[in-house]
Structure 1
Amino acid sequence: MRDRILHIGSVLLFVLVVWQVIHWVTGSIAVSSPVETVERLAALMRTDEFWGHARETTTAFVQALGIALGGGLLIGLLLGGWRPAGQVFEPILIAIYSIPKVTLYPVVLLLFGLGMSAKVAFGAIHGIIPVAIFTLNAVRALNPVYVRAARSMRLSTGQMATRVLIPATLPEIVTGFRIGFSLTLLGSLIGELFASQRGLGFLIMRAVNVYDVKTIFAVTLLIAAVAVVVNSAMLALDQKLHRRM
């Protein structure tokens, strides 16, 4: 634990030093300093408008994450447990995942319109396939003895999933969830950047339009900090589960 803290501290110090040096080279017109960014973030967080945008982003992200994780887990379990279907649909999932998601945004807008539903859909599109692929491969690599034992005990499909498949493949599922979390957050924010009147992504885009560098960096810093903290916690859990297995 101590080594991990020292490592994180070293990386954070390095990032701050590089950030400050870039600020000195380019000036505030291009990159705000770490101190200016934190001051601007503190000022934003004292306004009701900021928290309204933050709630909008949080609501969209939580809904998209629930769809991505739940849907991806279900798809992965079904395709992994039924090998013929997995062999057919895995290449299709990979092909869809390779498509740049921005190109799908006009379709999402046509189907869901502007607003919350479009952001949720765009976020879920980013995260659901990685979760499904990780779960599918984990179930496929599972020792067949577990499945045969479950069938010999006449477990139902739901019981096999909750009592055998998920516990036995939990480390890989958590890995998929960690990647799905990051991609879903990215998708939700991209949705707000392109067609939204509320949310942290909208705040960034509005700041870009008026060239408000401090606000751009302040909101970006907040999002990055939340993403790093959550991802680090999930990575620690991921590593712990893999060591136990």
Structure 2
Amino acid sequence: MRNALGTAVVFVVLLLAWEALHLVVANSSLPSPGTTLVQLVALFGDPDFWKHASQTSQAFAVAVVLSTAGGIALGVLLGMNRVAGTVAEPILVNLYSLPKVTLYPVVLLIFGLGISARIAFGIMHGLIPLTLFTMNAILQMKPVYRRSAAVMGLTPWQTSLTVVLPAILPEVITGARLGVSLCLLGVLIGEMFASRNGLGYMVMHAMERGDMPTVLAVALLLAIVALLLNAVLLMLDRAWRH
């Protein structure tokens, strides 16, 4: 109840700040929350909007699945070998700090202009954070878990699945929460730079036309989707901890 009340208060404050900013600047530059909501409802009745949303949803879903599976697998592989994990951590951190936009020409050369490039760009954003969360959780795990697995004669594969992953699952879910949001960001950026469909392309096209209500309506929708996904993962995290 307390969390729900806090969320409602934050939401109301953000709406009031949005409305105040709308009154300060020119109306054409920043639509009001009401205008944005009306535009969002109008988009729901536009068949072209659902075509763009479908393209983004497909790329996002594939990117999330691949980055989650790859991030957990790579994190476990590096975490189970302390030397490999220690060497890999600064490399991964430096790779993640690189502006992903600079790598987009390389992605286009490899994957072309289709949905594969957007999926790859989403994976580039979501894979490394989850890998780091998983790897560091294993490196910081109490040694007694792995010692118990060794006493029971478990193989490294069995140890990873039955001992290590259950022990670090809260940290993995935390990494997944960050990775999912970053995957969505990566897919949208990919659509903005080299695509003729998707919500990212729709936003860029609206910006070129000066259609700010559409830009903010799509941004609002994406923010709601990201918050809902994060809330679901947070519920899973709390359920596992309790």
After TM superposition, the score normalised by the length of structure 1 is 0.95
In 2: Cα distance, 1:172 partner to 1:112 partner = 32
| Greater alpha carbon shift after TM alignment, 9-18 vs 19-28 | 19-28
Residue 241 of structure 1 deviates from its aligned partner by 4.1
In 1: Cα distance, 2:237 partner to 2:29 partner = 38
Pairing 1:82–2:81 present: yes
In 2: Cα distance, 1:34 partner to 1:75 partner = 43
Pairing 1:213–2:188 present: no
Matches within 5 A, 1:1-245: 2-239=1-238, 241-242=240-241, 244=242
In 1: Cα distance, 2:130 partner to 2:226 partner = 18
Residue 158 of structure 1 deviates from its aligned partner by 2.3
Gap runs ≥5 in structure 2: none
Runs of 4+ with >6 A deviation: none
In 2: Cα distance, 1:183 partner to 1:200 partner = 16
Identity %: 46
In 1: Cα distance, 2:178 partner to 2:238 partner = 14
Aligned amino acid, residue 170 of structure 1:
L
Aligned amino acid, residue 127 of structure 2:
I
In 2: Cα distance, 1:36 partner to 1:146 partner = 56
Residue 24 of structure 1 deviates from its aligned partner by 1.4
In 1: Cα distance, 2:27 partner to 2:229 partner = 30
Aligned amino acid, residue 189 of structure 2:
I
In 1: Cα distance, 2:5 partner to 2:83 partner = 48
In 2: Cα distance, 1:141 partner to 1:85 partner = 14
In 2: Cα distance, 1:158 partner to 1:51 partner = 43
Residue 232 of structure 1 deviates from its aligned partner by 2.7
Residue 110 of structure 1 deviates from its aligned partner by 1.0
State the secondary structure of the residue aligned to 1:155. Answer: coil
In 2: Cα distance, 1:17 partner to 1:88 partner = 48
In 2: Cα distance, 1:81 partner to 1:191 partner = 34
Aligned amino acid, residue 235 of structure 1:
L
In 1: Cα distance, 2:25 partner to 2:235 partner = 37
In 2: Cα distance, 1:187 partner to 1:195 partner = 12
Aligned amino acid, residue 211 of structure 2:
D
Aligned amino acid, residue 161 of structure 1:
S
In 2: Cα distance, 1:119 partner to 1:36 partner = 31
Please give the per-residue CA displacement for 1:66-98, whole angstroms capped at 9, x wherever unaligned. 111110100100000011211221221111111
In 2: Cα distance, 1:32 partner to 1:233 partner = 30
In 1: Cα distance, 2:5 partner to 2:131 partner = 35
Please give the per-residue CA displacement for 1:10-61, whole angstroms capped at 9, x wherever unaligned. 1111111111111112132101111111111111111211111111000000
| Greater alpha carbon shift after TM alignment, 145-154 vs 105-114 | 145-154
Aligned amino acid, residue 33 of structure 1:
S
Residue 239 of structure 1 deviates from its aligned partner by 4.6
In 2: Cα distance, 1:20 partner to 1:188 partner = 30
